[in-house]
Every structure is written in C-alpha cells, then in structure tokens.
Amino acid sequence: MNLSFNPRHPPYAEVAVLIKTSGPNALKTLRLTPVADHPTTTLTPAAAAAAKNPAKLTGSVAVLRYLARLAPHPSPLYDEHTLTSHRHTSETDSLLDLLRQHPFTTHHLATLTQTVHARHPQFLVDHAKLLLADYAAWGFLRVHPSKDTATWVAKMDALPECAEAVRVVDAAIAAPPLQTPSVVEVKEIPRISGTNPDENVLDAFRNLIADQIARLAGSDPVFVTSLIEAPRTPDHGDFAIAVPRMRVKGNPAVLAKEYTEKFIPNQYILSASSIGPFMNFKISHSLLNRLLLALISSQKEAFGTNTSGAGKTVVVEYSSPNIAKPFHAGHLRSTIIGNFINNVHVANGWKTITMNYLGDWGKQYAVGYNKYGKEDELEKDPTKHLYDVYVQINADAEADPTIHDAARAYFKQMEDGDEVALALWRKFRDISIIKYQSTYARLNVKFDIYSGESQVAKPMARALALLKEKNLVKDSEGALIMDLNEHKLGTTVIQKQDGAALYMTRDIGAAMERYEKFQFDSMIYVVASQQDLHLKQLFKILELMGFDWAAKCTHINFGLVSGMSTRKGTAVFLEQILEETKTAMHEVMQKNEKKYAQIEDPDTVADIIGISAVKVQDMAARRIRNYDFDWNRMFSFEGDTGPYLQYAHARLCSIERNSAIPINPDADVALLTEPAAEELITMIAQYPDLVKALPASPEPCNVVTYAFKLSHIVSIALEGLWVMGQEKKLAEARLLMYWAARITLGNAMRLIGLTPLERM
C-alpha cells in the first residue's frame, strides 16, 4: 500500500489504526510518501497499485474507515454488525463527519474540543474501549493542539500503536527528500493592469498563474486574473480557475488537464493540477510567509492600502442632522456608514472631501424660540433645547393653525435675506455645529465642510432658471413641477405656489455648486432608504439638465433601526445613548479589579468600548437590512460584538508586552509550518484584497466579518502556538506572526471607525 500525504497533515491516526487492526508487521506493506504540495491524504491499496488506473481512497476519513475494516470481522474499531456496535458506529460517523468539514472552522474545533474535554479521561464513544473515533480525534488534535485536550492527547500518545505511528510518520517526513516538482526560478513578477504586487503579496502569485495560463489559452492576462479565486475545497490548492469562465473553445475538462500539464512550476507556484473543468494551483507558503511579513514590517498601519484611486476626488455627504431635532438613529447610521465610506476611499488612494449637509433651514426655529426660548438652556444644550422648543410650538400649532402661517412668513423673510430674521437663525446654527463637533469627536468622525440648505440660495436660483430655460418644469396650480413619469419616477415639486423652494430645488443647486468647486470623480450621498425615490429623481433631473457628471453621483442607502431608546425607554438623543453605553461598559470593566487597576484612563476606555459596541452592532449586517437595537447583545464581550474585537486586539498587544523579546522583522518565518500558522497568515494576506474590493461593494459588514474571522483564527492559533517558553528562533517567528495579526486587525478596526485599544 502507498499512503501519500502532505507533511503539514501527518497521518498519525491512519498508521495507528493500521497497526491496531493488522499488527505491527503491516507496516512492512505500507509505503509512506510525504509530498510537499499534496492536496489530501491518498491511499492506494496493494491490490490496486498494479492496475493501469488504480483505485484510490482520498481524504483522511475515507482512509481511516478502510484501514479499520482490514481487521478480521468483527472489527475491534468499527463494527457495524450488532445493535450495540451500530450505536457506536453511528457516533463514530458523526465525529468523522465533523472532522471532514471544509473549511474546518472555529466552531467545528470548539465542538471537537468540548467533546474530548467532556469525556476525559475516558474514551469518546465507548468509555472503556478504544474505537475509530478516538484515533481520528487524536490524530487531528496532535496537529491542532489545545490546552483543554493536551492531557487526553498525551494519554493516547502513550498507547503502543500511537507511539509507533508517531515515530514512523515523523521519520518519513524527516527523510530527505520530499517529493517536489522541478521548478524554474522566477526573476521578475509579470506586471498586469489592475494588480500591484508591491502593495498586495497575493497579486504576485496570481500574476504568475495568469501570465502562463493566458499564454497557453491565448487569452488576456487581465481577464484571466479576474477569474482566479479560492478553490471550492481547500485541499485542492490555494487558487483555482474554472475553465468554462475563460470562454475558450473546447472541452473544459480536457483543456484544464492540458493547461495544468503544460504549466511550469516555479518558486511561487509549486504545482498545477486539474479536477474536471477546474484548474487548481498550490503556492509556496514559506515564500508567502516571508513576503507578507516583510511587507507588513515595512508598511505597518499602511498595510492593506493601495493607490488604485490616485488622482481621483470623491465628495462624501453624510450624517446631515437637522439642527432643531434630535440626532436620531437614522443620522447615527448615516454618520457611521458615511465615515466608513470615506475611510474606504482614503485607503484606496482617493482624495476625499467629507461634507455634513445640515438641515439648517426651517420655519419653526424663530417663531417657536420667540415664545419658548431660554438663553441659558440654549447655551447649556442647544440641540435638546431647540428640540423642546420644536415640540412645544408644533403642539401649539395643532390648536392654532395661524402659527403655521406666521412660521411660513418668517421663513420667507429668511429666504429673502432679511437680516433680523437671519441673525437668530445664524446663532442657532453656529452653536449647534459646535455641539455636533464634540459628539462627532467621540465617534472618531471629522468633516471637511459643514454645509447646509441655507447656503445654496444662489445655486438654487441658477438651477431653477436652467430648468425653466430647458423647459423641464411646468405649472401645476401655481406650483412648478417636473414630470418624470416616462422614467417611472413619478412627479416632483420644484417650487411651491408661494414661490418658496423645496428640498429638490436646493439639492439640485447644491450638486451644481459642488461639481463647479471640486470637479469630483464621484459624489456619494449616504442617506436612508426612505429617500431612494428622491435621490433617483435628483440624479435623473441632473442628467436631463445636460450634466455629464450626473452619472458620477451615487446613493448609498441603509435600512432602519428600531428600539434605539435608553434602557428605561425614554426619548433618545445620541448623547444619551453614548453616555449610557459608556456607563454600562465601565460597570463591566470594574468587575475585574486586577485588570481595571492597570488601565490608565478607564473613563476613556469605557467610552471607546461603548462606541465600538454601538458601531459594530450597526455594521454587523448588510446596510439595507433593518435591525433592532439590542442593549444586552451589544454589551457582551462574547460572540461577535464590538467589545470582543477590542478584547482580541488588546490580547494581541498583551502578548507583545509579556513576551520579553522584541519584534524581529528578520525572524525565521520558515519555522511557521503548523496548519494553524498557515491559516492565520493566509487570512492576513487576504486583507488587501478586501480593501480593494470595497469601493465597488461598500458593505461595512464585509470588514466586520473579516475582523471576526481573523480574531477567531488568532484564538485557535494561540491555543497551541505559544511564544513564551519556546526556543528563541521559534518564539521570534511566532511573535512576528501575532504582531502582523495585531497590525492587520487594528487596520480593519480603524477602517470601520473604531479606535483599537491596547489594554482593557
């Protein structure tokens, strides 16, 4: 029999099962063949080896079942013939199915760990008897060590068949040379438009694949690069191309085989193989380790950024609260998502201009304030006081409709430029902006420009004149309207009967002024989905007015959030929400007196954790989805929450503090050979791809999901790949890997507007 395997996945369990079922002499009939780029464990039975097309068993689980059945019936490890053994076999199959999962996630590992931990010191299925499940779990946990399973694994290690299996397999791995395809040395990475190996290490590997395959198929390398993806099954390789998507004539399976057989391996791409119409490519992970960690050591907090947007300008309008109303959930969502959109464009090399277009032009301000306004209350909390005035004057107007007439008259005076009418309005606006700026600072948000409806009077007049000149508006009972029914966008009012302008008129004028001033390549409105129709109408009107740049305007929408009130159910202002989250986090922190005493500024840390909780809850799902504001879930340090991300980052910082060795960028990263290390480094390497894809798919949840996955993979690695107590070279290599994970996690957190903490 020949057992081929990847040295990163040693077949300890398979060899131990063979010894158990067939005796130690069976090893004389077994040939162990470690192959550096082998996708999965493969057994060629002795009877099949001589055949022209030998039957093979692929996958560790299939091999284990086969070897267990080699024993005389009934099999001591896998007996399917009695009622009792049938129950044992069923439980064994369940565990084997768990080990066969691709990808094997944190959840799967936790399930296995909990199962072993719960049964210790007994065996997994039959408490007093070894079965196939025990060997399978042991072989897996030897490669994925955990503190919770170390004692159980040691117990299995002591069994004669297991000890012999470890000796034989390790000797086979150590015996030079491993089978590796002959390779040619690449002197220079091909340059392909849309890629940049200097910014993204994975581009180097993809370009080397695309360059060869494009030449073999007579295709465009840019097109071929766009087809490279992760294989459906990780065992198949690191990259894959589906030949049917290449649009070349011929049988896809035949072409896949032809191209991969002609592919010349190199020090980057170790092998190419085909499975049906799919081409799979295996890369050198030792080279990936070296290139990636060198890049992060050089770039640090700039890791993941790129220059794809260099020379382009984007205007991002977001937040846009009304100065006489509370900063409600919709404005909070716009602020969080808009800040993310800005960060994404900065990370992709764009020049960004952030704009807060305030709702600062209303009829109730002065009329209500003349009756209910108090200077001391206004100075103390302008947003809350103006809202109280707003509520009171609107309540009065329910009983006395003439208040609306007075408000409209005052509003018309403001539009006509009456200085007396404008003076009080300016006061409201200026003190409101000062208050907003302090709130935005807590949210880690800054604006380049505070604009507003009040500042577009002249552009609005020009817009109205142009609409009339192009005969795009018509009279309707004294008002001016624009009929967009032929574009399936209904009708919108441009000017009211009394000559007053509306939101649409102001928005048209504002857009015209922005393009004239900034000559933007893109302008993004981050506004709730309730305004979908309004913005579609706006963009269509700009197009009908003859502005080519109308096509550069984009609406990024989002769903509603419900239940955003204080825990006592009272009315909501954002400031109240932030204060309550800070207080709640402070209470949680104080429960751990030892750690709390080490924090220099617990009030600030509590505020940062609280804001992280609010933001991550908001960004955890796709933008357009509605969600319920959940206090209990938000404050949890377990599960996928903002506090958990902060904990994961702080934990990585503590490893650096406690390691007693400095970060060494020249560490020997070739020592990072364990599957957990390979998985972690591969995950880190994917971050630049994520960043580059975000402008076309601006979903904050994609970054949140990545940050959680990275944190979970770090957690798995930390179970077995320790820094402290290791030989210096290995400790340096692992510390550099964890440092790179911390840099990457911190960059992802900053991208979604969080401030990464070093202690908490």
Alpha helices in 599-727 (DSSP H): 602-619, 631-634, 642-658, 675-685, 687-693, 700-720
pLDDT of residue 433: 86
Question: Residue 193, class by beta-carbon neighbours within 10 Å (0-12 exposed, 13-18 middle, 19+ buried)?
Answer: exposed
Q: What is the largest CA-CA distance in the chain?
A: 104
Residues 262 and 215 in one domain: yes
Query: Does 215 share its domain with 339?
Result: no
Specify the length of the chain in residues: 760
Report the relative pairing of strands 57-58 and 42-44 from DSSP bridges. Answer: antiparallel
Does pLDDT of 524 surpass 90? yes
Q: Residues near 486 by Cβ (< 8 Å), separated by ≥ 6?
A: none
Residues 583 and 650 occupy one common structural domain: yes
Q: Which domain holds residue 151?
A: 129-175
Instruction: Check whether residue 558 and residue 593 sit in a common domain.
Output: no
Domain with residue 706: its CATH number is 1.10.730.10
Q: What is the mean pLDDT of residues 675-694?
A: 96
Of 518, 510, 226, the C-alpha closest to 350 is 518
Q: What is the DSSP string of 210-272?
A: HHHHHHHHT--HHHHHHH-B--SSGGG-SEEEEGGGG--SS-HHHHHHHHHHH---BSSEEEE
User: For 671, phi and psi rounded to 5 degrees?
Assistant: -75, -10
The tokens describing 729, both together, are 């070279």
Per-residue pLDDT, 483: 96
Pair (221, 333) in one structural domain: no
Q: Is residue 417 part of a domain?
A: yes
DSSP state of 49: H
CB distance 722 to 622 below 8 Å: no
Neighbours of 172 (CB within 10 A): 20
CA distance between the termini of the chain: 56
Question: What pTM was estimated for this model as a whole?
Answer: 0.79
Looking at per-residue confidence, does 238 or 393 come out higher?
Answer: 238
| Residue 539: CATH number of its domain | 3.40.50.620
| Together in a domain, 407 and 349 | yes
Rounded Cα gap, residues 381 and 402, in angstroms: 29
606 and 721 assigned to the same domain: yes
- Mean pLDDT on 210-238: 94
Residues 536 and 596 in one domain: no
Domain count, the chain: 4
Catalytic residues: 325, 328, 331
Coil vs helix vs strand at 648: helix
Assess if residue 236 is contained within a domain. Answer: yes
pLDDT tens-digit series, residues 305-358: 999 999 999 999 999 988 766 676 668 889 999 999 999 999 999 999 999 998
Provide the β-strand partners of residue 352.
Answer: 314
Q: Residue 498's pLDDT band (boundaries 50, 70, 90)?
A: confident
Looking up residue 214, the CATH number of its domain turns out to be 3.30.1360.70
Do residues 323 and 271 share a domain?
no
Tell me: do 382 and 527 sit in the same domain: yes
Write the DSSP symbol of residue 523. Answer: E
Average pLDDT over residues 556-574: 68
Q: Which two tokens stand for residue 369?
A: 């304030």
Please indicate, yes or no, if residue 31 is contained in any of the structural domains: no
Q: Are strands 2-5 and 42-44 parallel, antiparallel or unpaired?
A: antiparallel
DSSP bridge partners of 480: 475, 495
Q: What's the mean pLDDT in 685-709? A: 97
Residue 46: is its pLDDT beyond 80?
A: no
Q: Does 401 map to a domain?
A: yes
pLDDT value, residue 636 = 66
Owner of token pair 């131990």: 16
Is 557 a member of any domain?
yes
In a domain, 626, yes or no: yes
CA 640 to chain centre: 12
- Average pLDDT of the residues in 658-664: 94
Judgement on whether residues 623 and 742 belong to the same structural domain of the protein = yes
Q: State CA 472 to chain mean position distance.
A: 45
Sign of the alpha-carbon dihedral angle for 201, 206, 209, 213:
negative
Please check whether residue 63 lies inside any domain of the structure. Answer: no
For residues 232 and 150, membership in a common domain is answered with no
Where among 302, 333, 366 does a domain terminate? 302
CA atoms within 13 A on the CB side of 407: 19
